[in-house]
Structure 1
Amino acid sequence: MEGTVDGFRYGAVTPVAAYLMACLGGALGLRCIVRSLIDEQTWKPGWLALGAASIGCGIWTMHFIAMIGFQVEETRIRYDAGLTVLSLAVAIVVVGIGVFMVGCLGAGKGALTGAGVITGLGVAAMHYVGMAALRLDGSIRYDAFTVGLSILIAIVAATAALWAAVTIRGFLTSLGASTIMGVAVSGMHYTGMAAVSVHLHGTTGASWAGDSPTSLLLPMLLGPVVFLLLAGVVVMFDPLLVLGDGEWSRSGRRPGADSEFKAPATTSPRPRREPYARKQ
């Protein structure tokens, strides 16, 4: 028996909230990447790690906020806690590989392409590991073509977001790139969910005893959401990330270098000549 799948149990609430979280994670992560590129004196591994964790947490929170709205009408669902946590680790680690590629190799065509592919695969890997955590009285099946399309969407959009963020490094441009990243994650998720069909094991409307999906997901979502808020505070209080690189990025100088100048060479005043004494 085929189950009736509904991914919008709460209407537009979960898709909109999920998209906003993906944009937030993408915005923070991409700005951290830019920060590591425009200031050679910064602690690059720290900024890149913060960027990877921000993007990974944004992807993960997007997925599971969207999954709060997912239901199969004929059976109750729950989640395996271990696989749910593993999906978060997969997102951070795989996306981190792509982020460090851009941060260490620069914004060249090869580095951006490789980083975009790996980041897109990280988005997809997180999604399908998260789906593997789903438990219900049935089996989940996927349409292979739609799965492939979802992975392609993730790769193309992630590559475009990285390119926009590191090629045009302005603050507003990075915000625009974060919306592209949000589209990548959300588009991949809902395309992947369109590939899902559920074959029920029984026809009696069996329900799963135990905790509801939200009783597990909501507490687990709290940690990544708090992390994103803290990362936002770090970015907000970094002058270079808030104000943009401006003239400094074009001149290649450190922040505040415009106010540093060499004092003009001072010359000692010419000694005053005493008038010659008149000859007597």
Structure 2
Amino acid sequence: MIEHFAYGALTPILSFVLSFVGCAAGLSCTARARLYEGRRRSLWLWLGALAIGGTGVWVMHFVAMLGFSVEGAEIRYDIPLTLLSAVIAVVVVAAGLFLVDRSQGRLRPLLVGGTTAGLGVTSMHYLGMRAMHTNVPLSYAPGLVLLSVVIGVVAASAALWLSYRVRTLALGVVAAVVMGIAVSGMHYTGMAAMRMGDGDHAAHASSQTPQGLTAGELLVPLALFLFFSTLALVVTVLLARAPGEVRADREFDAWRDRLRGSDGAEDADATSVAPAQGSSDLARRDVQDQRARRATGR
């Protein structure tokens, strides 16, 4: 007998919360990326991919797997395959984010990016399942496997669209909830496809005790990964300048350049292009300097 909720509602709720946190942090990073160019923009997109693919998808998957058990079976996890599945999750999400970012949200690149990321995320899921070794043969129901792939593609496309469209905190929270539900839905649909019996996964079955780590032994590195990745993202967001500050500085720089390029203009013309908010003290000082230079030149 296969059990997906060995600890009751604890693992699905916890895995959803982790997926929500990862997706919310990722959306915040992609929103900030739009305020920059060059390397800074790429850095924020990579941080978004790490948050969504790492915490939102990969960590969610293995926390949910803590509630998975098979009657009479020993379950172990292959570490290299498990880590490879994490790399795949982050890389495919990054590919989708960069593609959509460079396409300015156009539909065709969005669909291509969503399909690529969705197939990558579902590949991460089934590679993670392939990393599971057990002494009981398991197989998959093809129809549910196909459904999980469709859910993964749709979820990834929606995630990429949201990553480009999110502008406010309220919309970001709603988007993170939607993404968390979609990722969890893909995972549990794929898990529902598992059956006891001969099949492709039966190659991992053995009469001997399987090699690898137990789900409980995976919990410690998962907890460390979650702690340090989340801490790094929180510190990065806290130390980074707020979006309003970046916009205000850009407005002020543009206004100052126009002001310096029009020394012969009237004061009213100069002040008419002053930024509406942010850096107002510096703006006033610049106007006073302009007036002083004009006075000495008369």
Q: Give the structure-1-normalised TM-score.
A: 0.82
Q: What per-residue deviation string (whole Å, max 9, x for no partner) do you get for residues 228-249 of structure 1?
A: 23212212333435x698xx49
The count of residues paired between Structure 1 and Structure 2 equals 260
Structure 1 position 259 matched with structure 2 position 257: no
Displacement of 1:43 in angstroms is: 0.9
Q: Structure 1, unaligned stretches of length 5 or more?
A: 272-280
Structure-2 change in CA distance of 1:16 and 1:254 (3 Å)? farther
Q: Match for residue 276 of structure 1?
A: none
Structure-2 change in CA distance of 1:25 and 1:254 (3 Å)? farther
Bigger Rg over Cα: 1
Separation of aligned partners in 2, 1:231 and 1:45:
15
Out of 51, 69, 74, the position equivalent to 1:54 is 51
% identity of equivalent residues: 35
Q: Match for residue 125 of structure 1?
A: 123
Structure-2 change in CA distance of 1:144 and 1:164 (3 Å)? same
Q: Match for residue 192 of structure 1?
A: 190
Write the mapping of 1:86-165 to structure 2, written as runs, cut at 5 A: 86-165=84-163
| 1:171 and 1:244 in contact (8 A); partners too | no
Out of 208, 230, 240, the position equivalent to 2:242 is 240
Q: Which moved more, 1:70-79 or 1:36-45?
A: 36-45
Q: Match for residue 171 of structure 1?
A: 169
Whose RCO is larger (CA < 8 A, sep 6+)? Answer: 1
Q: Structure 2, unaligned stretches of length 5 or more?
A: 255-274
Separation of aligned partners in 2, 1:186 and 1:255:
45
Q: Match for residue 221 of structure 1?
A: 222
* SS of 1:268 mapped into structure 2: helix
Out of 74, 79, 84, the position equivalent to 2:82 is 84
Write the mapping of 1:259-278 to structure 2, written as runs, cut at 5 A: 259-260=278-279, 261=283, 263=287, 266=291, 268=295
- Higher-helix-fraction structure: 2
Query: What is the Cα-based RMSD across aligned positions, in Å?
Result: 3.0
Out of 28, 31, 43, the position equivalent to 1:31 is 28
Q: What per-residue deviation string (whole Å, max 9, x for no partner) do you get for residues 163-220 of structure 1?
A: 233224122212221111111210000000111112278xxxx783677623431133
Separation of aligned partners in 1, 2:219 and 2:3:
20
Separation of aligned partners in 2, 1:80 and 1:42:
36
Separation of aligned partners in 1, 2:121 and 2:253:
34
| 2:101 and 2:164 in contact (8 A); partners too | no
Letter in 1 for 2:239: F
Letter in 1 for 2:176: S
Q: What per-residue deviation string (whole Å, max 9, x for no partner) do you get for residues 223-279 of structure 1?
A: 4302123212212333435x698xx49x9748996334352652639x9xxxxxxxx
Q: Which moved more, 1:95-104 or 1:156-165?
A: 156-165
Q: Give the structure-2-normalised TM-score.
A: 0.77
Letter in 1 for 2:144: T
* SS of 2:100 mapped into structure 1: helix
Q: What per-residue deviation string (whole Å, max 9, x for no partner) do you get for residues 29-63 of structure 1?
A: 12211211233377111111111111121111100
Q: Match for residue 233 of structure 2?
A: 231
